Chains A and B, each alone.
Chain A
């Protein structure tokens, strides 16, 4: 496999974006940041891939005009996934692995506030037997949280610990839209919202966009002293059925983790839109207690739809670039209750050789 690294990353997160759901306006400055970080122009990008959702935008082909932000004369080698940024990055990583291109810029965008997000996401469920009941995202997470509490796998205190640490760490993240930790006791004293969930157990509805730049071999080394080399990249999916899954587990996360080498990981950016989901993921990834989790504050403090997973990769990469850590794992999820999961191991050297 070729050595491929994350060499650029830019993001925007906000409670409400008042512009068009095509988000071209958000993407232009993100691309500019990526060009600045890499010293490249759009013509240096070998492949482009984006992630977004028509149902989030409320119209078909909502991704089509996003290419305006690139500037597509001459035309570009480009693709789109109806998935999170992390999977758009996966497609670009594949493209580089085939040898067809050496560089890629991937991006994703979403205006979650355009509709009632937790309701719109009910359209992801089985359309015959579930969607007609409109089970909202928060309710599905509540069923999952309860299952773990009842089974004694976690408790409300453990969930509050996740939330408190996330809100505290988010104070140092300029992009986080919810921040300000207090104490576990204080969080537990707040009212229960969707029993067993409190509001701080749920990620805020977030608009935003993000972009990641990949480069192979020497091109990565030219951009950064410490590129974040992709040492492992794997993803997997579980059945959607809420009934037949053990909701306290995420087998697809475990399978993705098993396909990469997590030894020596110092930091984890986990895409856990609900506090208990971080607890599931730590277990499925087999993270040791001394692994630093979500120093960015994680999805509980800002979760822009369709870029929230990829942002975890960008956050982890940033900490490789800075020298803060030598090895990190980033995770992205999609679908209800951690149905689909992707794991990306990043390292400061190419020693770890790709999976």
Chain B
């Protein structure tokens, strides 16, 4: 048996970023097939434009279109790409100083072996098929084959650099400027429980509620912790607590929210199990929400055994035992 329980978990959200005027201008440019730099107070053209001038700290307000071609100033090989990088096979990341810019831009370079890339090589932007106003509108850089910087390179269908456009017409038909960008962030973790939590979850998988007693203060913690929070002592002595307890306090949930599994109203309560010195938060069902009281005696109602996992969810809910309410004095120091 492994020392601890572990399971994968993905933490993912599509962040909705507002860009502010400077980054908005840059991303609008990308959407429209242009790379814009910002001119700093020292006269440098920087891509992407910094939002604020590094010297005067004023917002950058002068923008300069730079060429989609440039020179590699540094690069690194990416032998084992990680999820969501521009390529899912080996490639290079490169710093590319675009013609007309004074500082390089970081992006991927479409090469398939390290010997295809070198500092000083000429590259150009390969635009994404669909441009939405994001840094990924630049799909990557690609080597400029042939003579350095020659404009007559065959652009090819999927490597088209923006063609000369009728700016006035484009202006009219153009959607509004980019002011926001959606950035998906998804991280995969292997989540592990502590050894004490693992014992607790394993107990639940056997229909038991296990706590541990602190050797210093004698309090029984459910779930057990790696250290007693009162005095920092690791708890060790395993204690099985009762499946019956007292509602110390509670709230009635009336509001629907994302991911909710039960139709409101229902009660979320702190249940102080007999034999434990700390309450667990759980659901109270089997009684009208309006009938739930502080001091009410309740017992665990388990899910069918075949649904059990390593989780407190094995206890579907708590419901009243019908015993008389506990005396306030018996639990007031647990509020």
Contact = CB atoms under 8 A, between A and B. Distances in A.
The answer to whether A and B touch in the complex, with CB atoms under 8 Å apart, is yes
A142 B83 contact: no
A130 B119 contact: no
B76 A195 contact: yes
B232 A193 contact: no
A254 interface: no
Interface stretch (A64-72, A79-87, A258-266, A327-335): A64-72
Nearest to B134: A132
A116 B54 CA distance: 33
Interface string A100-140: 00000000000001111011100100111111111110111
Contacts, number: 192
A242 interface: yes
Contact of A139 (B9, B11, B93): B93
Contacts of B26: 129
B229 interface: yes
A247 B74 contact: yes
A18 B40 CA distance: 49
Contacts of A27: 227
B82 interface: yes
Given A31-B232, A139-B93, A129 B48 contact: yes
Interface residues of B, number: 67
Interface string A16-32: 00111110110110010
A12 to B, nearest CB: 14
A128 B2 CA distance: 41
Nearest to B105: A243
Interface of A: 18-22, 24-25, 27-28, 31, 42, 55, 58-59, 65, 67-73, 113-116, 118-120, 123, 126-136, 138-147, 150, 192-197, 239, 241-244, 247
Interface of B: 2-4, 6, 9, 11, 15, 17, 19, 23, 26-27, 44, 46-48, 50, 54, 73-79, 82-86, 93-95, 103-108, 114, 119, 134-136, 181, 183, 185, 187-195, 197, 225-234
19 contacts: A18-B2, A58-B11, A68-B225, A72-B232, A113-B190, A116-B188, A123-B187, A127-B183, A131-B183, A133-B86, A134-B82, A135-B93, A141-B76, A146-B74, A192-B77, A193-B79, A195-B76, A241-B46, A244-B54
